[in-house]
Chain A
C-alpha cells in the first residue's frame, strides 16, 4: 500500500469514527427498519389482539346495556361492590351510567394493563435481550450511534402504542360512544403505554439480562396495580402515586380531567430521558446491578439435570412467589368488602332468591382464578426454559453427557410443576390469611388453599401444550402463550365479551369449580389431568424423534 493510500485510508476511518461519535443517532433509520422486520409477526398480533378484544368488548357491552334501566341496574350493583372496585377501578360515572362508563368499568383497566405489557416486552426485547446475544456487539461495532438502538426501540414501540391507542379509540367511536370520552380513553391508553416504554428502557439499563429487565418492569406494573387498588377502596391519595391511577383518573365519559395527561406525559418523558442518560454511562452488556462472582467449585448438590433446572429457575420461582404472595394477601384483605352489596336490600333479596353464593365467596373464587392465571404465566415460561436451553446451546452440552432426552425434559417439567404447586399453595394460603386477618377468623384458610390447588390441572394442561409444541420444534413452543392469553381473556372477560359457551370451554380453567362459591367437582379435574398427561406424552415422543439444536 502506498503512503498516499494509507493516509487516505486513515483519513476515511477517522472521519467514520468521528461521524459515529458526533452523531449519537447514526444508523437510526437502519436499526428501525430492522426492528420492524423482526417484529413483522409479533407487532401485528399484539396490536390486533388488544384492539380486537377491546372492540369486541365494546360491542358486547353496548348490546347488553342498551336501555336506561339496564344501565341503572349495572350502576347500582357495581358502585355498591367495593371489592370489584379494587379489581376494575374507581367506576367514575357509574352513579348515572352511560354505556361509555360501563365499558370503562368492564374493560378499561385490563386494556391499559395489556398495552403497558406490550410496550414493556417489546422495548426490552429490542434492547436488553439483544445485548444478551452476541448480535448487539456486532451492531454496535458497525458505525451505529451510542443512543441509536435505544432511540430506535423507543420510536418503534411508541409508534405501535400510538397505533393501538388510535385503534381502541376507533373501536369506541365505531359503536357510537361519546367522542370526547373516546378520545380521552385513547389518550389515557397512549399515555400509560409511553410510561411503560420509558420503564422498559430504564429496566433495560438497570438489569443484568433481558429476563430480569422484564421482571423489573413487570414488578413495577404489579406495584402500580396494587397502589391504585388501595386508592380505589381506601385512602384516595394513594391512587395518585400510580400511573395506572392517573390513566384512569382522566375520567373518560365522566367529566374528563384532561390535565391528568400532563402527569403521564411528564413521567414518560423523564423515564425516556433517564434511560438514555443511563445508557450513556453503561458498558454494553453490563447492568447497573452488578454481576457478582460465583463459587470456584460446584456444590455437590448440583449433580443432576433436575438440580440444574431447579438452580436455573430458582430466581424466577422466588420472584413469582413474592408477586403472588403479596397480591393474594391484598386480595384477601379486601374480599369482605364485597359483602357491602348486601346492604342494598334489593340486591340482597335477589341473591337470596337465586340461591347464589355470597358476594364474598364469589369474589374469593374470582381471586383464586386470578392467582391461577398469574401462576400459569410462570408455568408456561418455566416450560419454555427448555427452548431457551436448546436454542442457547446448553441442551447440546447436557445431552452430550450421559443424560437422556427424557431426563432433560422431565427435569424442567418437574421443576415447572413443583413451582406451580408452590405458587398455588402460597397463593391460596396468603389469600386465606389476608381474609382471616380482616374478618378475624381463620376457618377459610384451608378451604382456600384447597381451592387454589384445584387449579393445578389447568396449569398442567397449559404446560402440556407448551411441551407438545416444543416436542415438535423448539421454535413452536412460544405459541403456548396463545393458550395463556386465551385463558386470561376467557377468565376475566367472558361475561363482558358475552363469549359463547363452547369458546369458554376451550379454556381449561373454565372446567374447574369456582370454589368457594361452588362445590368441589373432582371429575373435571381428573379429565384435565388426563389431557395434560396425553399432551406431555405427545411431547416426549416427539422430542425423542427430532434433531436437537
Chain B
C-alpha cells in the first residue's frame, strides 16, 4: 500500500491563530478518505497547504510523493480540486469555465463532460454570476470529475446539492473509487461519509484526534446497554469504563460502557441473572458529536492515534 497524501507534524499559524497545530494525516493510494471536523478545525487550511497555496510554518507535507510547495505545477496535473467556496468568473458561462479548466490540464474529454453535465442536470449556457449555489458547485464538480486526475481533493463538495444530486455525486465517487483513484473528501454530511469512505480522519483545533475505519471508530467508543436482572446490580458504577448508569421506573438499568471494557462489564452483569439485554452501538451522530465536543480529551485521553 502506497501513500497518496502524508502530513507529518504540520504547523500553520495565521498571526495568533494556530490553524494547524502539529497535524498528522495519511491517505493511502486508492482509498476514499473522509476528512471531518467541526467548523474552523482546519480542514480547508490543510487542503490549501496540500495544494501548495499556503506554506506551512513547519512539518513535512508530501502529495503523491512530492513537495506540493515546490512541485505545485507538475503535481496539479495529477490532482483535481473542488474548493469549499466555489467562486467563478461571473461573466463567463458554466460551459466556458468547465472547458477552460479542462484545457489547462490538457484536452477536453467532451464525452465525459457532456455525460456529467447531463447527469448533474446543469445548464452550461448560464453566466456563472446567475448560478445558484448548488449550480456553482456542480460546475466545480463536473470540472473535477471530468478530469482523469489520480487524486481528487474535495472540500465539502456537496454542501449546496439537493438530495437527488447528492446521490448522483455518491455514484460518481463510487465509480472513481472503482477505477482505483484516490479521493480525499472533507464533509459534514455523515451519511455521505459512511457510504463512501474507507477510512476517516477527524481533526479538531488543528490536530488529528482520530483516524481509522468507521468500524475502528465505533469500536473505540462506547456501547449503550439496557438490561433487566433478577437481583439488583450492585456497585455497577464502580466498574472501570462504565458511565451514566441509572435505573428507570420499570427496573431496567441503563448504562454506557467503553468498548474495551465491554466484556468485563457483561460478565459482571450476568452474575445478577440477566432476564433481558439490549445493546446499541453508537449512532454515527453520537460518534462524531463525541469527537467534536469539547469533553473528548478529558474523557478519552489515550485516544489520540
**Chain A positions near chain B (C-beta within 8 angstroms):** 132, 209, 291-300, 302-305, 308, 311-312, 392-394, 396-404, 545-549
Contacts and interface: CB of A to CB of B under 8 A. Distances in A.
B124 interface: yes
A403 B73 contact: yes
A311 B89 CA distance: 11
Contact of B73 (A293, A402, A545): A402
Contacts of B52: 399
A296 B51 contact: no
A312 B104 contact: no
Given A302-B100, A397-B140, 15 more contacts: A291-B129, A292-B127, A293-B126, A294-B95, A393-B83, A393-B86, A396-B53, A397-B87, A399-B51, A401-B101, A402-B73, A402-B76, A404-B72, A548-B48, A548-B53
A248 B290 CA distance: 73
A401 B144 CA distance: 10
A27 B305 CA distance: 52
Given A393-B87, A401-B76, A402-B76, A298 B127 contact: no
A298 B87 contact: no
A398 B143 CA distance: 12
Interface of B: 48, 51-55, 72-74, 76-77, 79, 81, 83, 85-101, 103-105, 108, 110, 124-127, 129-130, 140
Contact of B103 (A298, A311, A312, A393): A298
B127 A397 contact: no
Contacts of B99: 297-299, 302
Given A291-B127, A296-B125, A132 B90 contact: yes
A209 B125 contact: no
Contacts of B91: 209, 291, 294
A496 B104 CA distance: 53
A302 B48 contact: no
A296 B95 contact: yes
Contacts of A292: 127
B100 A298 contact: yes
A547 B90 contact: no
B90 A397 contact: no
Contacts of B73: 402-404
A233 B55 CA distance: 61
B81 A400 contact: yes
7 contacts: A297-B124, A298-B99, A302-B96, A393-B83, A393-B87, A400-B79, A548-B48
Nearest to B12: A547
Contacts of A545: 55
Nearest to A395: B53
A299 B97 CA distance: 10
Contacts of B74: 402
Contacts of A404: 72-73
Given A304-B104, A312-B89, A400-B81, A295 B72 contact: no
A445 B129 CA distance: 44
Given A303-B103, A404-B72, A399 B53 contact: yes
A302 B98 CA distance: 11
B54 A548 contact: yes
Contacts of A402: 73-74, 76-77, 104-105
A197 to B, nearest CB: 26
Contacts of B94: 294
A315 to B, nearest CB: 8
B69 to A, nearest CB: 10
A393 B97 CA distance: 14
B286 to A, nearest CB: 26
Contacts of A294: 91-96, 125-127
Nearest to A300: B103
Contacts of B53: 396, 399-400, 547-549
A101 B272 CA distance: 109
